[in-house]
Structure 1
Amino acid sequence: MSIKAFAARIFANHIAKRNKKWSSRPIETQEKVFKDLISQASLTVFGKDHQFGQIKTHKDFVKQVPIRDYEELRPYIDRVVAGEEDVLWPGKPIYLAKTSGTTSGAKYIPLTKASMPGHMKAARDAILAYIHETGNTAFVDGKMIFLQGNPGLKEQNGIKLGRLSGIVAHYVPSYLQKNRLPSWETNCIEDWEKKVDAIVEETRNENMTVISGIPSWVQMYFEKLIQVSGQKVGDLFKNFSLFIYGGVNYEPYRAKFEALIGRKVDSIELFPASEGFFAYQDKQEEKGMLLLLDSGIFYEFVEAEKFFDNNPPRLTLEDVQLGVNYVMIISTNAGLWGYNLGDTIQFTSLEPFRVIVSGRIKHFISAFGEHVIGKEVEEAMQQAISAHGFSITEFTVAPQTDPADLGLPYHEWLVEFETEPANLEAIEATLDQQMQEQNSYYFDLIKGKILRPLTIKTLKKDSFNLLMKSEGKLGGQNKVPRLSNDRKIAEKLYQLQP
């Protein structure tokens, strides 16, 4: 065992003990975070506008601070972007993370001196939790690749601007720098396809042991590696043993990845965003990710089915239940207050608190009152893959409310298969059965003949890559919405078919 591996194991044990200390006292931990946030921001513009000096309890906070999304918080954020101090958090943020917004255009999320360490600590601790559980440290001496955005930063009004993944690149610890790929120059390539080609050339002859990124973009990297080398990824990188991912559910990709790699490798799921790093997988055999309660983020939860009601109940950890679909609301030491992140989660454990990401509150299908969410379509797809042995590149789901044949409406699954299967009708039947079992509203609509069973539209190879490229969202942290309540994405995909 190398010195680095030995030190990693000792540090992993230390972090595990520290995590157990706060995770075993979750309510007290969150109460302390809440009071610290209110106290530190009481003299900011936002704090004065919302009478933080009078807030003593969560009930007070609910009265003073409404739930807001980015657009609703934007008047304050615009002042931050303009360089004004003490608006949402004391002083100025050190960075503004630029993200793509569907309704807002570009979004600028503040990252402060207080919040930035949370991003780095969580990423580090996710790996250390894996080491603590498995004892596997061999990978620490190999090369690690993190598929990420351009690390180049601009400065505006005394604040640096860039993509979150690019900002994080500036914080890679010195002891990892010599192990980290791709090079700075390659990471700065804007064109994603050219960037992947350059990454392949830089890494194909290296001892790659850890690979990290959004599955759909890592898949493109793997396919290029195989095309260039003629070898499975696992044969090319004989010591590759750990895949780290976030942003989307890995399960629909797992069979395809194992085929590309040629064997199974361990994986760690992360739940990061520009707004904060919220959770990571701390156990290989436990479902869900450990919710990070001591990192300057106070969490509230609103039942998704009640979210669009007037004044829906805002719950804290004391009141949440297993298996319920919640919209996650955050208040953070970056100055986001009562902020609707847009993600929906479900708790898989309450001791400690573990979550899965179930979808997006804006990404659902309820054209007929069915309330279908991302988790349900992903689970159905995974069950169909297991039952029928096919693999996919990507898929999305949309309602068809006005069929050309004038028959009953239905859900259309637009699927890019790795190889188009011969038993498409059997796959459709399995998907539909799984959806009925998971979603009682969908079951009632099918049985009541309001909807007919779902259908699959097979797409030509590279349809989703062409879609993302046409919207300037190829690569990086961009993701295809898993489902939509309209046919905008479906129609764009149809236009790309021969």
Structure 2
Amino acid sequence: MSIKAIAAKLFASKIYYKTQAWANKPVETQQAVFKSLIKDARDTAFGADHHFDTIKTVHDFIKNVPVRDYEDLKPYIDKVRTGEKDILWKGKPLYFAKTSGTTSGAKYIPLTKESMPYHIEASRNAILHYIHETGKADFVDGKMIFLQGSPILTEKYGIKFGRLSGIAAHFVPKYLQKNRMPSLETNCIEDWDTKVNAIVGETIDQNMTIISGIPSWVQMYFERLQEKSGGKKIGELFKNFNLFIYGGVNYEPYRAKFESMIGRKVDSIELFPASEGFFAYQDSQKSKGMLLLLNSGIFYEFIKADEFFTENPKSYTIGEVETGVNYALIISTNAGLWRYNIGDTVQFTSLFPHRVIVSGRIKHYISAFGEHVIASEVENAMKEATQGTEIVINEFTVAPQITPSTGLPYHEWLVEFENEPEDMDVFAEAIDSAMRKQNIYYDDLITGNVLRKVVVTKVSKNGFQEYMKSQGKLGGQNKIPRLSNNRDIADNLK
């Protein structure tokens, strides 16, 4: 074992015990974060508008500050973008992470000198927890890659603008610089097709030990590697590749395809990062869920998803949550986001420590008939329908068909197959059965002849990639929604 690997194991042990100290005191940790946030933002414009000088308790905070999404917070953000100081947080942010997904186009999420270090530490600590638990550290001597956006930044009013992954690329520790791939020149390529081909050229003969990125785009990278190598397995090209790090979407629908392409199973670490904050990472290979980061400058609130759109829904803090409940995640941060609805829903898989899974998006669901189907349900149904079979899925999404030309309405599953089922009707029946077991409302609609059973529609090879390309969202941190309550994506794919 190299000196670098030995040092990594020692550092991993230190970080593990440091994590346990706050994870074992969740309420006290969050209360300390809350008090610090209110104190530090008391003299900001937002603090003045919401009477932070009178806030003593979380109850006061909830009373003074409404839950907001980006559109609601945008007037404050616009002031910060034009160089005004002390608006949402003290001073000016270091960066604005540019992302997409709102009705007004791009979102600009502030990153401050207080918030930015937590993004970097969380990625590092996820790997260190893996080292501590498994004892595996030799991979630190190999090459590692993160498929990410361009690190090229622009600057205005003393604030730099760019994609979060591109901003984070500027914070790679010096001890990892020699291991990191691709080259800066390749990483700066904007066109995703060109970029992936360049990455393949640079990495195909390297000792890759860690590969990281959103599964759908890593899959594209693997496919290009196989094309260039004449069909070799990824595990044959990269004999020491044994750790895949991912975030953004659930890995399970991709796992069978990945293991087939790699030629063996590899360990994986799930991350829960966003421009708004780094919320959680998988701290154990033995336990389900990701450790919620309670000491990272973020105060969390949780609103039950089925109550979110009611008037004055109850907000729960970390000491009040339960396992198995679908919560909308509300955050207040040291980047100046206050009671901000990030749009994700989570479920707790354990308490003490508090681990979560991402169950979907508060706006991404199907409830055309009151069924309120969420992302985790369709992903679990797909997993159950393909388990123990030769079926391999590249990508899929689900949408309601409210006005079919004949027959009852239905949920349409648009699927790109690598290996198709022998009998599509049997496959559709398996999905439908799994859905009915998970969602009683959906089951009632099928039983009551309001809906007919699932209809599976084949999507042509690379159909999802072509769709994303047509939307200007090929690669990077972009991802296909697992489901939607309209047919915008479904009709484009067809």
Conservation of the 8 A alpha-carbon contact between 1:420 and 1:458: no
Deviation digits for residues 73-105 of structure 1, max 9, x if unmatched?
Answer: 000000011110000000000000000124130
Moved more, 222-231 or 363-372: 222-231
The aligned residue for residue 4 of structure 1 is 4
> Cα distance, 1:351 vs. partner?
1.3
1-side partners of 2:53 and 2:395: how far apart?
Answer: 50
Distance in structure 2 (CA, Å) of the matches to 1:486 and 1:244: 32
Partner of 1:447: 447
Aligned to 1:273: 274
What is the Cα deviation at residue 432 of structure 1? 0.3
Give 2:340's aligned residue: 339
Which residue of structure 1 lines up, in the alignment, with residue 116 of structure 2? 116
Aligned counterparts of 1:16 and 1:260: Cα–Cα separation in 2 = 33
1:483 matched residue in structure 2: 483
Kindly state the Cα deviation for residue 389 of structure 1 after the two structures are TM-superposed.
2.4
Aligned counterparts of 1:255 and 1:68: Cα–Cα separation in 2: 39
Match of 1:288 in 2: 289
SS at match of 1:472: coil
Cα displacement string for residues 386-433 of structure 1 (whole angstroms, at most 9, x for unaligned residues): 04321111100000000111x111100000111332211111011000
Distance change (3 Å), C-alpha of 1:414 and 1:102: farther
What do the CA deviations read for 1:419-450 (whole angstroms, capped 9, x no partner)? 33221111101100000000010011111111
Structure 1 unaligned segments of length 5 or more: list them.
none
Tell me how far 1:322 sits from its aligned partner. 0.6
For each residue in 1:29-63, what CA deviation from the matched residue of structure 2 results, as whole angstroms up to 9, or x when unmatched? 00000000000000000000000011111100000
1:150 aligned to 2:150? yes
Q: Is the 8 A contact 1:363 1:481 kept in 2?
A: yes
Q: Show the counterpart of 1:313.
A: 314
The secondary structure found in structure 2 opposite 1:418 is: strand
Once residues 104 and 300 of structure 2 are traced to their aligned partners in structure 1, the CA distance between those partners, rounded to angstroms, is 24
- Give the 5 Å matches for 1:307-386: 307-386=308-387
Structure 1 residue aligned with 2:13:
13
| Shift, 1:384, TM fit | 1.0
Partner in structure 2 of residue 171 of structure 1: 171
Mapped to 2, the partners of 1:153 and 1:401 lie a distance apart of 44
Distance 1:88 1:313 in 2: 25
Matched residue SS, 1:56: coil
CA distance in 2, matches of 1:14, 1:205: 35
CA distance in 2, matches of 1:224, 1:487: 31
8 Å contact kept, 1:97–1:111: yes
Q: Is the 8 A contact 1:388 1:427 kept in 2?
A: no
Q: 2:224 & 2:152 partners in 1: Cα distance? A: 25
Match of 1:390 in 2: 391
Distance 1:28 1:351 in 2: 13
The separation in 2 between residues aligned to 1:298 and 1:431, in whole angstroms, is 38
CA contact (8 A) 2:118 2:278 kept: yes
| Residue pairs, 1:43-62, within 5 angstroms | 43-62=43-62
Kindly indicate whether residue 437 of structure 2 is the aligned counterpart of residue 472 of structure 1.
Answer: no
Please state whether the residue corresponding to 2:336 is helix, strand or coil.
coil
Partners of 2:388 and 2:60 in 1: CA distance? 51
Most deviating of 102-111 and 274-283: 102-111
Using the alignment, how far apart are the partners of 1:469 and 1:226 within structure 2? Answer: 22
2:319 is paired with a residue whose SS is helix
Quote the residue 1:162 is aligned against: 162
Code of the residue aligned with 1:87 in structure 2: it is I
CA distance in 2, matches of 1:363, 1:114: 31
The equivalent of 1:492 in structure 2 is 492
The TM-score, its normalising length taken from structure 1, stands at 0.98
Structure-1 separation of matches of 2:377 and 2:101: 25
Corresponding position of 1:141: 141
Cα-to-partner distance string for 1:204-256 (whole Å, 9 max, x where unaligned): 00000000000000000001101101210000000001000000000000000
The 8 Å contact of residues 325 and 345 in structure 1, kept in 2 or not, is answered as yes
Q: Does 1:420 align with 2:420?
A: yes
Amino acid of the structure 2 residue aligned with 1:152: I
For 1:284 and 1:167, how far apart are their aligned partners in 2? 29
- SS for the counterpart of 2:278 is strand
Secondary structure of 2:90's partner?
Answer: coil
Q: 1:259 — aligned with what?
A: 260
Residue type of the alignment partner of 1:458: K
| CA-CA distance at 1:157 after TM superposition | 1.2
**Distance in 1, Cα, partners of 2:346 & 2:58:** 21
Match of residue 226 from structure 1: 226
Q: Is the 8 A contact 1:83 1:92 kept in 2?
A: yes
The residue type paired with residue 79 of structure 1 is K
Percent of matched pairs sharing the same residue? 67
Tell me the number of residue pairs that the alignment of Structure 1 and Structure 2 aligns: 493
SS in 2 for 1:144: strand
Q: Which amino acid aligns with 2:16?
A: A
3-state DSSP of counterpart to 1:469: helix
Deviations 1:322-357 (A, max 9, x none): 100000000000000000000000000011000000
Structure 1 residue 365, shift from structure 2 partner: 0.2
- One-letter identity of the residue aligned with 1:264: K
Q: Deviations over 1:108-143 (max 9, x none)?
A: 000000000000000000000000000000100000
Give me the whole-angstrom Cα distance separating, in 2, the residues matched to 1:206 and 1:117.
30
